[in-house]
Amino acid sequence: MSGVDAADSCLACALTAGTAPLPGGQVLRSGGWVVEHCVGPLGLGTFVVKPLRHVLHIAELTVPESTELGPLLRRVSAAVTEVTAPEQVYVCLWSHSGGVPGHIHFVVQPVDRATMTRFNASGPELQLAMGKAGCFPDPARVERICDRMRGLLG
């Protein structure tokens, strides 16, 4: 597979490059990683941590990228906790786009009791239910939460 051709049609790369709409804008660029609010239907305060490079498999991360990853996921999770006061923060990676490997991106998702009660679900079932319900957050609220995250992560 040609990485360049794949990157040309990659939403993650387009969001990083600023050629696709990204409410809230980039929250952090740190080493080989980028943090931004999730554009998918996973609710307000869900952030994405993804490599700057078009990487399809964890095994393809460089040593510096993988060294940066753990501390960055902890930092972003701590900031999400500070901003949203959730019951739990999910950090997960599926990265299958249309059933084929896609640009890897860790989802850092705050989950509270009200959301679990609303959907009567937790874990992957909760994410599936939120997707089906189209839990796209209000862009104005995304802008505000991204400003707060930049303050915490900056």
Q: Which is nearer to Zn ion, 29 or 74 (CB)?
A: 29
Give the nearest distance from C-beta 9 to Zn ion in angstroms: 9
Nearest alpha carbon to residue 147 among 72, 37, 54: 37
Residue 36: φ, ψ to 5°: -150, 165
N-to-C CA span, the chain: 36
Give the nearest distance from C-beta 6 to Zn ion in angstroms: 7
Q: Which part of the chain contacts Zn ion (CB under 5 A), choosing from 19-27, 33-41, 90-98, 103-111?
A: 103-111
Give the torsion through C-alpha atoms of 141, 145, 148, 149, to 10 deg.
Answer: -160
Q: Which is nearer to Zn ion, 27 or 55 (CB)?
A: 55
Q: Which part of the chain contacts Zn ion (CB under 5 A), choosing from 40-48, 65-73, 84-92, 102-110?
A: 102-110
Q: Contact 146/24 with Cβ under 8 angstroms?
A: yes
Q: Contact 91/107 with Cβ under 8 angstroms?
A: yes
Give the nearest distance from C-beta 74 to Zn ion in angstroms: 24
Give the nearest distance from C-beta 111 to Zn ion in angstroms: 27
Q: Contact 68/21 with Cβ under 8 angstroms?
A: no
Residue type, 114: A
Choice from 103, 108, 130, 146 touching Zn ion (CB under 5 A): 103
- Using CB under 5 A, which residues numbered 7 to 66 contact Zn ion? 7, 10, 12-13, 54
Residues that bind Zn ion (CB under 5 A): 7, 10, 12-13, 54, 103
